[in-house]
Amino acid sequence: MDIQAIKTAFEAELNSWWPTAGNTPINWENVPFTPPAGIFITPLVTFADATENELGSNPLVLISGIFSVLVSGPVNSGSGTILAKVNLINNRFSSYKFSDVHTGPGRIVVIGEDENKYHVQVRIPFKARQRARS
C-alpha cells in the first residue's frame, strides 16, 4: 500500500459515513472551499519517514503517519457541538482497521480561536505496510 493508496483509503472511509453522521461540509486538501458560517471539517494525512520492517529478499516497508481532522466552528457559540463532531471522528477512526490501514488511539487537542473560528483537532496515528521495491 503506497502513500496515495493510504490517502485514498482515509478519504473514502471518511466520505462513506461523514455526510450522514457528521452532516457538515468537508474542506478537502487542495480543493477550492469557502468556509461556511457553521461547522466544517478539514482532514489531512501527514506521513512520517518509512522504515524497513522485515529483512530478506522481499522486505516489508512500514509507512506511518498521522491522520488529523480539524473541526472548526463559530467563535463564542460554545464548544459542545464541535466536541461532539470531534468525538464522532475519534470514535470512528481510533484503533481501527480498514483497507490495510491500522490506526492507534486518537488524541484530541483544542487549538483555539483564529479568524472568527474555534478549532479542535483529533490526531490519529496510523501504519500500513508496503512491499519494498527491488
> Residue 115: is its pLDDT beyond 60?
yes
Give CA–CA dist 13/35, Å, rounded: 22
> pLDDT digit string (tens) for 56-112?
667 778 889 999 999 999 998 888 999 999 999 999 999 999 888 999 999 999 999
In the numeric block, which cell numbers belong to residue 39?
461547522
* Backbone torsions φ then ψ of 77, nearest 5 degrees: -120, 15
Do 90 and 124 form a contact (C-beta atoms < 8 A)? yes
In this prediction the pTM is 0.89
Residue reference for cell 461523514: 18
How many of the other CB atoms lie within 10 Å of CB of 124?
Answer: 22
> pLDDT digit string (tens) for 16-47?
999 888 889 999 999 999 999 999 999 999 99
> Residue 123: is its pLDDT beyond 90?
yes
Residue reference for cell 471518511: 14
Do 43 and 11 form a contact (C-beta atoms < 8 A)? yes
* Backbone torsions φ then ψ of 95, nearest 5 degrees: 50, 60
Q: What is the pLDDT of residue 59?
A: 72
Q: What is the pLDDT of residue 106?
A: 96
Give CA–CA dist 117/119, Å, rounded: 6
- Considering only residues 31 and 131, tell me which one the structure prediction assigns the higher pLDDT: 31
CATH class of 3-131: alpha beta
> Residue 130: is its pLDDT beyond 90?
no
Secondary structure letter of residue 2 according to DSSP: -
